[in-house]
A and B are shown apart, each in its own frame.
Chain A
Amino acid sequence: MLIIRCPYCGERPELEFAYGGQAHIARPLQPSDQNDEDWNVYLNLRANPKGWHSERWRHIHGCARFFNAVRDTRTDHFLATYKMGEPAPEVPST
């Protein structure tokens, strides 16, 4: 059970959260202008790094907010969690 720091509520057990996949993927403003290839990238292609990963979580059974996090997928340790709209923190090079 991960302990996740909600930027609003503080540290809470994973039970209260829903995972939201890779962060910082904006839905195209005009989807109909996208060709199949680009739309595929938006729809299906997600980073799957072994290392630092920017991802979304939602404190669904808490304040209900989505927020972003940077987690190391090798250890599950979080570098940071931050509110939607805030800039992503500098990610260590390794």
Chain B
Amino acid sequence: MQRFSALALLRHGLGRHQGWKPQWRNAAPKPSYDAIIVGGGGHGLGAAYYLAKVYGIRNVAVVEKGWIGGGNTGRNTTIIRSNYLFEESAALYDHALKLWEGLSQELNYNVMFSQRGVMMLAHNIHDIQVFKRHVHANRINGVDNEWLTAEQAKDYCPPLNIDPNVRYPVLGAALQRRGGTARHDAVAWGYARAADALGVDIIENCEVAGIRRDMAGAVAGVETSRGFIASKRVGVSAAGHTSVVLDMAHVRLPLESFPLQALVSEPVKPVFPCVVMSNTIHAYLSQSDKGELVIGAGTDVYTSYTQRGGLHIATHTLEAICELFPRFRRMRMLRNWGGIVDVTPDRSPIIAKTPVTGLYVNCGWGTGGFKATPGAAHLFAHTIARDEPHPINAPFTIERFRDGYLIDEAAAAAVAH
């Protein structure tokens, strides 16, 4: 792998940048692999990287129906935090957060992980109770999270409107200082480049259309738009399309896929220092390194694969943004897009073995799986390599829905993302 550094830039600059090599090979499928990952998002590419790097399984392919990072990885609002309520979730997301902290160096790719703090606003007494419960639970679980008064919240985020006379005044906030954002595309590309360097084949424009099983019912490989590829281990990390892929092996999961939208403003000079989320009035906002305000909207109410959403969803979000930040009313929306998020009944993910031998799944991240990318990828790799879950992802099974062992953060807190 060509090392990336300021020096390398300098050297190549003198050579008019003619010497740079492809960051990952445009691989063609081999007949067979030790493991295949379906889905070239951050989670899938990361899983391939950790399979090669941590578990020594290098004969791995990532098959992606389009271009890598083109799924939710490339269309999310990039909020990263780990201050979840239940210890199972806190362990999972904090595992990821710790990996984020060294990811640029690990991958030799600047993923621009920016720990600018994630602040969640409380607008009513119920919010205060819920957030304080989080703060206490997080402290016991070793996750940073602190309670701020409205004034402290404004100090941390000056554009915030803390006038007590607005319709939903800000009564306080929970702040996770280690939380922040990262550059979405770089996560996919960084993992791809590092995985490629370890021998992983990244195969784009290769859609999985079938899962072949052997006589015993175990996985034998995948049928793709570029032919059959054999492997006894197939990990599916296809986000919104997971149901479609698992249908091919007749595995039914409790998943529904919904449109989720985001939008950006025109770029402006730095004006917004952190990430702010308001669940009560449905708005979340940060400013990217390029200057756009990055704004998340809600999901539409119906399932869909159209990868867009209704105008009323976006207007609803901007009503909330303008109410919280009246100065942004004259700002303008530059682009509005949608993703397809797969949601489980308890809104927590599944990282698990399936009833089919050799078939593994990492899905159900809904509106909030970007933050988990390195952690989930690592745990998924572990599950595939060892054919059993890592203790951190052991609770995130498929069976929990049958048995009732839900990890229902949303029900407990009415907070997502």
Interface residues of A (CB under 8 A from B): 1-2, 14-15, 18-19, 21, 36-37, 39-40, 43-46, 48-50, 53, 55, 71, 73-76
Contact = CB atoms under 8 A, between A and B. Distances in A.
Given A36-B402, A40-B401, A50 B241 contact: yes
Given A40-B402, A49-B244, A74-B306, 5 more contacts: A44-B345, A46-B254, A46-B256, A73-B304, A75-B306
A46 B306 CA distance: 19
Contacts of A36: 402-403
Nearest to A77: B306
A44 B254 contact: yes
B411 interface: no
A73 B402 contact: no
6 contacts: A2-B310, A18-B301, A19-B301, A45-B253, A48-B342, A49-B247
Contacts of B254: 44-46
Contact of A1 (B243, B304, B311, B403): B311
Interface in B99-154: none
Interface of B: 241, 243-244, 247, 252-257, 301-306, 310-312, 342, 345, 401-403
A56 to B, nearest CB: 10
A58 B310 CA distance: 18
B303 A73 contact: yes
A40 B402 CA distance: 5
Contacts of A15: 312
A51 to B, nearest CB: 9
A74 B241 CA distance: 12
B363 to A, nearest CB: 11
| Those 5 A-B pairs whose CB atoms lie nearest each other, nearest first | A48-B243, A40-B402, A44-B254, A19-B301, A44-B401
A19 B303 CA distance: 9
A15 B257 CA distance: 20
